[in-house]
Amino acid sequence: MLVIAVVNLKGGSTKTTTAGHLAAAIHEAGMKVLGVDCDGENESLQKWQEAADLPWPVVTLAVSNVHKQLPGIVGDRYDVVVIDTPPMKAQRGTVYSVLRIATHVVIPMAPTPVEYDRLLAVREILAEVADDREDGQSPIHAVLLTRVKPRAASTGVYRGLTVADGVTVLKAQIGSLERFAQSWGDPMVKVLDTAYGAAAMELLDLDRQEVTA
Ligand SMILES: Nc1ncnc2c1ncn2[C@@H]1O[C@H](COP(=O)(O)OP(=O)(O)O)[C@@H](O)[C@H]1O
Ligand SMILES: [Mg+2]
């Protein structure tokens, strides 16, 4: 079973939008997916599920020992678990616990100086958590560029800076689009055809060798 965690330092970084669309794409691809809402507050994945009656389940687990509770809740019924997390700055313990059991971590990031600056804190927690994981390594992780403007030079600039930092950046990138900006609470359909579908498939293909190469 894969556990994909969507993580960033602050709110407003498109974590929930990303978690929702990745889960929807994975569901459309025919895998059994469970959404896990470790935020519970804000415009959370659980409330999205309630509003839109999404065709895959979401459970709320807004606790600081997710790594202990999740295995018992999930059992062996799912292929992929997608975890939406609270802002790390406010709920570091919860995010740290999620990172202990994540197989894959997605860091949504707009190509802007502010969001790039926040990546440092995420890289630090990813390094720190290695000691508390069974494999003794950081989980596989990649930046997903989001809210990308057409033809903006910023996209290439921040992609280049992030790669130079040694962090994988998914080839798929999410445009700054009304479709995504307005999506919370709406049923998501045909997501596999969007950049989120490409991002989901790319993410599931990442293995540790590619990441560290
Ligand atoms: N691709 C996108 N283009 C433009 N706006 C977006 C996009 N994705 C999300 N948003 C907007 O960004 C804001 C924050 O999204 P959200 O997923 O709730 O972030 P977080 O969970 O990190 O707080 C929302 O107002 C949403 O409408
Ligand atoms: Mg959120």
Q: CATH classification of 2-212 is 3.40.50.300, yes or no?
A: yes
Query: For 31-78, what is each residue's pLDDT tens digit?
Result: 999 999 999 888 899 999 999 999 999 999 999 999 999 999 999 999
Does residue 81 contact residue 36 with C-beta atoms inside 8 Å?
Answer: yes
**14, 94, 107, 146, best to mutate for ligand 1 pocket (most atoms within 8 Å of CB):** 14
**194 Cβ inside 6 Å of ligand 1:** no
**57 Cβ inside 6 Å of ligand 1:** no
- Round to whole Å and give the CA distance between 44 and 21: 13
pLDDT of residue 41: 86
pLDDT of residue 213: 44
Mean pLDDT along residues 150-179 = 97
Starting from the CA of residue 185, give the closest ligand: 1
Please check the confidence at residue 137 and state whether its pLDDT lies above 90.
Answer: yes
pLDDT of residue 42: 80
pLDDT of residue 168: 97
Starting from the CA of residue 178, give the closest ligand: 1
**What's the token pair of residue 35?**
């959404």
Q: Tell me the domain boundaries of the chain.
A: 2-212
pLDDT of residue 40: 82
**146 Cβ inside 6 Å of ligand 1:** yes
Number of the ligand 1 atom closest to the C-alpha atom of 19: 17
- Round to whole Å and give the CA distance between 188 and 20: 8
**What's the token pair of residue 61?**
């687990």
pTM: 0.97
